[in-house]
C-alpha cells in the first residue's frame, strides 16, 4: 500500500504530491483496462486482480486527501504504484503474456506446500518474470548484506523462482527465469543472475555512483514470438505420442473416412460432420503422427474398446483393430504432479490416468479434451499436448441420416 508522509512540508506541496499520485494511479488504471480489452481474444489471467490493486491505491490516496489518515514524516513514497506500473509495462511489452500476479504452488525443500506470486508470465508460459522497481543502489546494498531486516536479496528471489519452476515444466523443461530492473542494476548483480541462468532486462551500471547520476532507460524486451514457435517445433519433434480416447475415436471414425456428407438427426453429430467437411481432421493427425511411436495406457484402451462394442460399426471396428496393433499398450502410471491434481467434473479419474501416463512417459498427449487441459492448468499443471477437434463414431447412425 502507498505510504504518504509529509510532516514539515508546505501543505500546498503535499497536496500537489498527492494529486500527482492520484493522476498516476488513474492513468495506470486506464492502461490496465486497455490491456484487458486488448486481450479479449487472448485472455491474460490476473488482469482483474491487477485492476483491483490499482483501485486500492486510488482509495488510499483519496483517504489521505480527505484527511481520514494522519500524514506524517517528511517525504513521500509510492513503491506499490511503481511496481504496478512496471507490471503493466511488462504485460504490454513482453511477448505472449498469459498471466499477471499469478500464484503458483510448489513443494519447498522440506516437502511443505508453498506459494510463489509471479509478477508476469510470458512466452506462452515459458517465461517467468520477476520485476523490481527499486533503485539500483538499494538493490546493491541489500546484495552486499547492508539491507534492513526482512529485505530480500534479488539473487535469492530469482533462485526461488528457479527452484519452483522445476516443478512446473513446459514441454518437460522448466520455464526460463527473467528478472526485470526498471531502475537499472549494478553489473555485478546482473552477472551473478546470468551465471544462475536467468535472463536480465534493464540498464546496467558499473557502480552505485554511476546509477545515481544516470537515469535508466526503460527495459527493452528483444525476444520475439519465436520462443513460442520453438515450443510448437519441440512438440512436432517429440518421438513419443500418447493417444487419448478422443484421438483413438477420431482416427477410426467413419466421419473422418468419407462419412461426413450426411445430415444426421442429432444436431451435435451434424455439427461435427460440418466441421469435418470444412476442415478434414485425418490429414492433420496423420501428419503429426507420422514416424512417431504410439502409446496408450490400459485405461484409455479399455474405455475405447467398450465404446467400440456399444456404438461402432463394422468398418470402424476394423480400423480400430488395425490401429491398436500399432500402439504400445502400457500400464497406467501417473506422474507425481498428476497425482496431486484435485478431482472435479473436469478432472476425472480416467483423464488423470491418461494424461498422467503421457506425462510420466514424457510424451505428447493428443486430445480433444480441452476441458481437462484448462482445469489442470488452473491447478498449475501444464501438460504437453497436441489438441485437435473432436469427432464421433457415426457408422451406425448413417442408416437414419440423409445423404
Q: What pLDDT, on the 0 to 100 scale, is given for residue 67?
A: 56
Domains 94-224 and 238-400 alike in fold: no
More confident residue, 229 or 303: 303
The residue among 329, 274, 273, 275 whose CA lies nearest residue 301 is: 329
Instruction: Decide if pLDDT at 81 tops 90.
Output: no
Residues with Cβ within 8 Å of 269's Cβ and at least 6 positions away in sequence, in order, are 392, 394, 397
pLDDT interval class at 283 (50, 70, 90): very high
pLDDT interval class at 170 (50, 70, 90): confident
Residue 4 and residue 60: Cα distance in Å, rounded? 10
Contact 241, 370 (CB under 8 A): no
Q: What is the CATH code for 238-400? A: 3.40.50.1010
Domain coordinates in residue numbering, the chain: 1-80, 94-224, 238-400
Averaged pLDDT for residues 277-282? 94
- Radius of gyration of the chain, Cα coordinates, nearest whole angstrom: 27
Most confident of 19-28, 108-117, 235-244, 274-283: 274-283
Over the stretch 346-395, which tens digit does the pLDDT of each residue have?
Answer: 899 999 999 999 999 999 999 999 999 989 988 888 899 999 999 999 99
Residues with Cβ within 8 Å of 318's Cβ and at least 6 positions away in sequence, in order, are none
Instruction: Decide if pLDDT at 85 tops 80.
Output: yes
Show the cell assigned to 268.
451435435
Q: What pLDDT, on the 0 to 100 scale, is given for residue 366?
A: 96
Report the percent of the chain where pLDDT is more than 70: 87
Over the stretch 144-154, which tens digit does the pLDDT of each residue have?
Answer: 888 776 678 89
pLDDT interval class at 6 (50, 70, 90): very low
Instruction: Decide if pLDDT at 1 tops 50.
Output: no
Residue 293 and residue 240: Cα distance in Å, rounded? 5
Q: What pLDDT, on the 0 to 100 scale, is given for residue 96?
A: 85
Distances (CA, A) of 48 to 43, 52, 355: 11, 6, 31
Instruction: Decide if pLDDT at 17 tops 80.
Output: no
Q: What pLDDT, on the 0 to 100 scale, is given for residue 290?
A: 93
Instruction: Decide if pLDDT at 143 tops 50.
Output: yes
Q: What pLDDT, on the 0 to 100 scale, is given for residue 224?
A: 47
Helix-then-strand count for the chain, H and E: 16, 14
Q: What pLDDT, on the 0 to 100 scale, is given for residue 213?
A: 82
Q: What pLDDT, on the 0 to 100 scale, is given for residue 230?
A: 46
Classified by CATH at the fold level, domain 94-224 comes out as: Trna Endonuclease; Chain: A, domain 1 (3.40.1350)
Show the cell assigned to 301.
484402451
Whole-number average pLDDT of the chain: 86
| Per-residue 3-state assignment (H helix, E strand, C coil) for 39-65 | CCCCCCECHHHHHHHHHHHHHHHHHHH
Averaged pLDDT for residues 280-296? 95
Q: What pLDDT, on the 0 to 100 scale, is given for residue 334?
A: 94
Distances (CA, A) of 118 to 4, 31, 183, 258, 344: 27, 20, 19, 48, 26
Most confident of 175-184, 242-251, 365-374: 242-251
Amino acid at each position: 500500500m502507498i505510504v504518504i508522509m509529509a510532516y514539515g512540508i508546505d501543505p500546498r506541496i503535499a497536496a500537489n504530491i498527492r494529486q500527482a499520485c492520484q493522476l498516476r494511479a488513474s492513468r495506470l488504471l486506464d492502461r490496465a483496462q486497455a490491456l484487458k480489452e486488448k486481450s479479449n481474444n487472448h485472455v491474460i489471467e490476473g488482469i482483474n486482480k491487477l485492476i483491483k490493486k490499482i483501485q486500492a491505491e486510488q482509495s488510499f490516496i483519496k483517504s489521505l486527501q480527505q484527511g481520514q489518515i494522519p500524514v506524517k514524516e517528511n517525504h513521500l513514497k509510492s513503491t506499490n504504484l511503481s511496481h504496478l506500473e512496471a507490471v503493466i509495462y511488462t504485460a504490454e511489452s513482453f511477448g505472449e503474456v498469459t498471466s499477471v500476479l499469478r500464484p503458483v504452488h510448489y513443494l519447498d525443500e522440506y516437502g511443505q506446500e508453498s506459494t510463489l506470486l509471479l509478477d508476469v508470465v510470458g512466452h506462452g508460459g515459458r517465461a517467468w518474470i520477476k520485476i523490481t522497481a527499486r533503485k539500483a543502489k538499494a538493490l546493491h546494498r541489500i546484495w552486499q548484506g547492508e539491507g534492513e531486516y526482512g529485505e530480500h536479496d534479488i539473487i535469492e528471489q530469482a533462485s526461488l523462482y528457479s527452484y519452483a519452476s522445476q516443478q512446473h515444466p513446459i514441454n518437460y523443461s522448466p520455464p526460463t527465469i527473467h528478472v526485470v530492473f526498471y531502475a537499472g542494476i549494478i553489473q555485478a548483480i546482473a552477472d551473478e543472475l546470468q551465471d544462475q541462468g536467468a535472463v536480465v532486462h534493464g540498464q546496467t551500471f558499473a557502480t552505485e555512483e554511476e546509477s545515481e547520476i544516470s537515469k535508466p532507460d526503460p527495459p527493452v524486451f528483444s525476444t520475439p514470438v519465436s520462443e513460442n514457435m520453438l515450443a510448437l517445433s519441440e512438440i512436432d519433434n517429440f518421438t513419443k505420442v500418447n493417444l487419448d480416447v478422443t484421438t483413438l475415436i477420431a482416427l477410426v471414425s467413419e466421419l473422418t473416412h468419407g462419412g461426413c456428407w450426411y445430415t444426421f438427426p442429432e444436431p451435435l453429430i451434424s455439427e461435427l460432420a460440418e466441421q469435418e467437411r470444412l476442415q478434414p481432421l485425418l490429414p492433420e493427425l496423420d501428419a503429426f503422427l507420422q514416424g512417431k511411436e504410439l502409446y496408450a495406457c490400459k485405461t484409455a484402451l479399455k474405455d475405447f474398446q467398450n465404446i467400440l462394442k456399444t456404438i461402432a460399426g463394422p468398418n470402424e471396428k476394423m480400423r480400430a483393430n488395425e490401429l491398436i496393433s500399432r500402439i504400445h499398450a502400457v500400464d497406467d502410471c501417473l506422474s507425481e504432479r498428476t497425482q496431486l491434481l484435485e478431482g472435479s467434473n473436469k478432472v476425472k479419474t480416467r483423464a488423470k490416468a491418461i494424461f498422467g501416463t503421457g506425462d510420466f512417459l514424457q510424451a505428447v498427449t493428443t486430445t480433444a479434451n480441452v476441458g481437462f487441459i484448462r482445469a489442470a492448468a488452473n491447478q498449475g499443471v501444464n501438460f504437453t499436448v497436441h489438441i485437435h477437434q473432436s469427432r464421433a463414431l457415426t457408422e451406425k447412425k448413417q442408416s437414419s441420416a440423409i445423404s
